[in-house]
Amino acid sequence: MKLDMEQVVALLKGDTQSAKVVPPSGYTATLTLFTSGAMAFLVVFALALSLATGRLADRWSSELARSSTVRISAPAGQMDAQTRAAAEVLRTTPGVAQARVLSHDEQKALLAPWFGPDLPIDSLPIPQLIEVIEDGDGYDVEGLRLRLSAEAPGAVLDDHTRWRKPLVKAADRLRSLGLFSILLITLATGAMITLAANAALAANKQVIRVLRLVGAQDTYIAQAFVRRFTLRALTGAIAGSVLGMIAMLLLPSASTAGGFLTGLGFQGWHWLWPFIIPPFAAGVAFWATRAAALRSLREQT
Amino acid sequence: MIELQNVAYSYGGGELLSDISLKLAPGSFHFLTGPSGAGKTTFLKLCYMELMASSGLVQAFGRDTRAMDRSEIARNRQRIGVVHQDCQFLDHLSISANVALPLMVAGRDVSHEAENLNDLLSWVGLTHRADALPDELSGGERQRAALARAVIMSPDVVLADEPTGNVDWEMSKRLLTLLVELNKMGKTIMIATHDLNLIRAAKSQVNARVLRISNQRLQLAGSDL
């Protein structure tokens, strides 16, 4: 096993001498190329899914965790008084960095996606919202609730955990599923390469026998097959990853409205991730073929 | 070189060879004869470690063959040239590539040994067929190519299994001459054959011992030939 690195190097340098001893394999080579390409294509999407849901979970758990909302529903006459009272309570609460009463236009903009721009909001009894931003330590939620109910009975504190937690959980689950898919695709690629390598080894039984008879060591014979399948997997995976990345580029970018959900593609340096796929696929092919070849050599001769 | 002590070999059912002891000394010349199916090929396979003895001890170059791992067997095979009964070529490679195959698998640079290869091909008279594929060769040409492949690594021992099986008498004599020449260069030679004429022809050229396998045992054949 300690020779493996040397073998990898020899493989990359290309010892065509050993590659020649096994006869060319025809159309089955195309199948390996195709499968490896298809798998790489799928991995690009699984990666994008994992990274995007990862971003989403981070965002929901960090950014939104730092903000909460106070909603004031009161009869029209008391609205202003209660709003002032609530704002005063918030201002004097330790742990609250900022409390901002949303303006009429801001509230209208928030509702516009749901009711359309033409709705006469003014005629509706809309509760007043106050956006609360925590400082690093946060505030005592129960204490604030009690104070608010005393000073402004119509105020309800919503710290978002109620709906945030299941969403973060779902995003985390989705990320795990994405990573699990990558694992499955990797294993399936390994299995496919093993099957293809076994077929090639069986088809070349006589060649292997002759090579053993003239003094070839197992690693030498294995290398001829390993080289072939590693290069095929590499080529296929390059094509698949490139196509996958093009497909990601062509995804419509998330609009501001959808920005809440984060774009589904790669962002920033995450674009480097797909470049790992081809060498990774080649590595899987290397190990799968090597294991298959050495096992089959021990069985055959 | 190769030494067998009380070796037996059995195929599933009965014993094919039993209680065989033999020492192949450096520079010796042996014929191995006996009826078809007596176990000549099996005997040779024990010598080049394709088969392992059911009991007894087989030593190659001073090492117990059963204690060798697959890599060591491969390395030792590079020191034993074998002419197989059915030649065993790689059909997709040219004759010169087939002859150079042992060099290739030993990791040697074939281009450095081109001169050596050409000499060898002209020694067996196949220079003009160097680029032909094995299937395009006649039986005699194949046997000579197999001999060239067996000796390209300059092995200490050459084992030949019915090297004259498919060729006419003229070609048999020519192959024999090549093997005798190798012996004169110091190689240990063992030829399995049922062709008594070949053995008689050899006796005039070289001091050969004749071994016979019969009733599962190896005997030294007398002067009855």
Q: Are residues A99 and A219 in the same domain?
A: no
Note the pLDDT of residue A257. 47
Q: Tell me the per-residue pLDDT of A43-57, one tens digit each, with 9 for 90 and over.
A: 999 998 898 888 888
Size of the A and B interface in Cβ pairs below 8 Å? 61
Q: Are residues A117 and A179 in the same domain?
A: no
Note the pLDDT of residue A11. 58
Residue A197 resides in a domain: yes
User: Given a cut of 90, is residue A244 above it in pLDDT?
Assistant: yes
Overall average pLDDT of the A106-115 stretch: 80
Cα of B113 to nearest chain A Cα, Å: 14
Note the pLDDT of residue A12. 56
Could you say which of A209, A216, A297 has the minimum Cβ distance to residue B105? A216
Q: Which chain B positions have a beta carbon within 8 Å of A215's beta carbon?
A: 74-75, 77-78, 102, 105-106, 153
Which residue matches tokens 């006869």?
A: A23
In angstroms, the CA B46 to CA B63 distance is 14
Note the pLDDT of residue A17. 65
Note the pLDDT of residue A299. 85
Q: Are residues A140 and A180 in the same domain?
A: no
Overall average pLDDT of the A225-239 stretch: 93
> Searching chain A, which residue's CA lies closest to the CA of residue B153?
A214
Residue B130 token pair: 């160097």
Judge: B101–A214 Cβ closer than 8 Å, yes or no.
Answer: yes
In angstroms, the CA B50 to CA B20 distance is 17
User: Is residue B54 within 8 Å of residue B213, measured between CB atoms?
Assistant: no
Q: Are residues A216 and A260 in the same domain?
A: yes
Q: Are residues A146 and A205 in the same domain?
A: no
Sheet (strand B209-214) strand order: B80-83, B157-161, B188-192, B29-33, B209-214, B217-220
In angstroms, the CA A74 to CA A154 distance is 5
Judge: A213–B84 Cβ closer than 8 Å, yes or no.
Answer: yes
Largest CA distance in chain B: 49
Total length of chain A: 301
The total of structural domains in chain A comes to: 2
Identify the helix (H) or strand (E) that includes residue B149. Answer: helix B139-151
Residue A198 token pair: 């076994």
Annotated domain spans of chain B: 2-220
Judge: B97–A20 Cβ closer than 8 Å, yes or no.
Answer: yes
Note the pLDDT of residue A2. 45
Task: Tell me the whole-structure pTM to 2 decimals.
Answer: 0.76
User: A84 — contact with chain B (CB < 8 Å)?
Assistant: no
User: Is residue A269 within 8 Å of residue A236, measured between CB atoms?
Assistant: no
Cα of A198 to nearest chain B Cα, Å: 20
Select the CATH number that applies to the domain covering B2-220 from these four: 3.40.640.10, 3.40.50.300, 3.90.1150.10, 2.40.10.220.
3.40.50.300
User: B166 — contact with chain A (CB < 8 Å)?
Assistant: no
Which own/partner contact pairs does A2-5 have at CB distance under 8 Å and 24+ positions apart?
Answer: A3/A219
Task: For residue B4, list its beta bridge partners.
Answer: B22, B58
Task: Write the CA distances from B142 to A37, A284, B48, B127, B134, integer angstroms.
Answer: 44, 41, 21, 13, 7
Note the pLDDT of residue A36. 95
Q: Tell me the per-residue pLDDT of A174-210, one tens digit each, with 9 for 90 and over.
A: 889 999 999 999 999 999 999 999 999 998 999 999 9
> Searching chain B, which residue's CA lies closest to the CA of residue A299?
B70
Chosen from A212, A214, A219, A295 to mutate, greatest number of chain B CBs within 10 A: A214
| Strands B157-161 and B188-192, sheet pairing | parallel
Q: Tell me the per-residue pLDDT of A246-295, one tens digit each, with 9 for 90 and over.
A: 998 887 765 544 455 556 778 788 888 899 999 999 999 999 999 999 99
> Searching chain A, which residue's CA lies closest to the CA of residue B93?
A21
User: Given a cut of 70, is residue A113 above it in pLDDT?
Assistant: yes
- Range of the structural domain that residue A26 is part of: 4-61+165-300
User: B111 — contact with chain A (CB < 8 Å)?
Assistant: no
Sheet (strand B55-60) strand order: B15-24, B2-10, B55-60, B63-64
Residue type for position A128 = Q
Q: Are residues A33 and A104 in the same domain?
A: no
DSSP string, A28-72: HHHHHHHHHHHHHHHHHHHHHHHHHHHHHHHHHHHTGGGEEEEEE
Domain boundary residue, one of A128, A153, A178: A153
User: Is residue B26 within 8 Å of residue B196, measured between CB atoms?
Assistant: no
User: Is residue B31 within 8 Å of residue B209, measured between CB atoms?
Assistant: yes
Judge: B90–A215 Cβ closer than 8 Å, yes or no.
Answer: no
User: Is residue B83 within 8 Å of residue B143, measured between CB atoms?
Assistant: yes
Domain boundary residue, one of A153, A178, A196: A153
User: Given a cut of 70, is residue A1 above it in pLDDT?
Assistant: no
User: A218 — contact with chain B (CB < 8 Å)?
Assistant: yes
Q: Are residues A35 and A184 in the same domain?
A: yes
Which own/partner contact pairs does B138-141 have at CB distance under 8 Å and 24+ positions apart?
Answer: B139/B166, B139/B167, B140/B166, B140/B167, B140/B168, B140/B171, B140/B175
Note the pLDDT of residue A65. 67
Distance from first CA to last CA of chain B, Å, rounded?
Answer: 27
What does the pLDDT profile of chain B (225 residues) look like in tens digits?
Answer: 899 999 999 888 788 888 888 999 999 999 999 888 888 899 999 999 998 988 899 999 988 998 999 999 999 999 999 998 888 899 999 999 999 999 988 888 888 888 889 988 998 889 999 999 999 998 888 988 999 999 899 899 999 998 888 788 888 888 898 889 889 999 999 999 988 889 988 888 888 889 998 888 888 876 545
